[in-house]
């Protein structure tokens, strides 16, 4: 935790306006520039909440800036995915995550906007879901609605976790990890349910086709 404390000390040593800029920039870049693969934006947001608890930053202003940065950054990521299309999978930061990207695409196809909201609670999906939504040609107004809802809840909750945990970053990180674990569980249940329903439909369609094949049209004509 030495590096974490050093980063907090660094932010404490800079003027509040610069701290706001640094935190907002990391949140913005997480999905817009895939920075989330290196430093998840939620880490910076937790730091911001800790700083707000010391009085160094204004809590309400921090929440507003974090939410705006999250929504705008994801919108940029959406446009990147929309312009790159299938070529998105060849972007260097994503090449090593083909299996996870395939699972994320499947989740997005099944759940649409809900996937955008839930994806914000895991570092990997938070970095790639906006671009995947753009590449899938999701309508932007639909994306923006779910993105704004997810950004508002995520930004507010994570800042408040850091704020109420105070200088105990470990406690805040633990609480956030528990929250993310619950969200991951919900995602897993949703994916399993979607797969189960798809399997049932496929089986029903196959049985229907088999029934049609078994029917002898010549015999029916003679009858």
pLDDT in tens, 162-196: 888 775 655 555 555 555 455 555 555 555 555 55
- Side-chain-side CA neighbours of 66 within 13 Å: the count stands at 30
Give the position of tokens 């970053």: 169
Alpha-carbon gap, residue 26 to 8, rounded angstroms: 15
User: pLDDT (tens digit, 0 to 9) for every residue of the chain, 223 residues total?
Assistant: 455 566 666 777 788 999 999 899 989 988 887 776 666 678 888 888 888 988 889 999 999 999 999 999 999 999 988 888 777 777 776 777 777 777 887 878 877 888 888 888 888 888 888 888 988 889 999 999 999 999 999 999 999 988 887 756 555 555 555 554 555 555 555 555 555 565 676 666 666 655 555 555 554 544 4
Residues 6+ apart with CB under 8 A from 126: 30, 31, 36, 40, 41, 42, 119, 120
Would you kindly state where each structural domain of the chain is located, as residue ranges?
2-213
Q: In terms of Cα–Cα distance, which of 33, 43, 23, 22 is closest to 128?
A: 33
The pLDDT tens digits of the residues spanning 80-109 come to 888 887 777 777 767 777 777 778 878 788
**DSSP secondary structure code for residue 137 in this structure:** T
Q: How many residues in the chain?
A: 223
Residues 6+ apart with CB under 8 A from 106: 191, 194
pLDDT for 213 equals 54
- Specify the pTM: 0.71
Alpha-carbon gap, residue 185 to 21, rounded angstroms: 33
Residue 54, classed as helix, strand or coil, is coil
Instruction: Report the 10 Å Cβ neighbour count for 88.
Output: 19
């Amino acid at each position: 935790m030495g590096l974490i404390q050093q980063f907090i000390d660094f932010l404490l040593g800079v003027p509040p306006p610069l701290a706001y800029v640094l935190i907002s920039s990391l949140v913005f870049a997480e999905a817009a520039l895939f920075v989330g693969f290196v430093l998840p934006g939620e880490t910076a947001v937790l730091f911001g909440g800790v700083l707000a608890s010391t009085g160094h930053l204004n809590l309400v202003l921090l929440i507003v800036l974090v939410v705006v940065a999250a929504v705008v950054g994801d919108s940029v990521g959406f446009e990147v995915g929309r312009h790159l299309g299938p070529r998105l999978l060849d972007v260097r930061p994503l090449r090593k995550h083909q299996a996870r990207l395939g699972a994320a695409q499947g989740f997005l196809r099944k759940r649409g906007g809900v996937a955008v909201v839930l994806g914000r609670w895991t570092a990997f999906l938070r970095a790639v879901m906006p671009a995947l939504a753009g590449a899938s040609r999701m309508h932007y107004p639909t994306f923006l609605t779910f993105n704004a809802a997810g950004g508002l809840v995520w930004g507010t909750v994570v800042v408040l976790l850091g704020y109420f945990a105070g200088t105990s970053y470990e406690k805040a990180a633990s609480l956030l990890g528990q929250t993310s674990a619950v969200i991951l569980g919900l995602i897993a249940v949703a994916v399993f349910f979607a797969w189960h329903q798809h399997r049932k439909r496929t089986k029903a369609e196959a049985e229907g086709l088999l029934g049609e094949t078994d029917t002898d049209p010549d015999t029916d004509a003679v009858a």
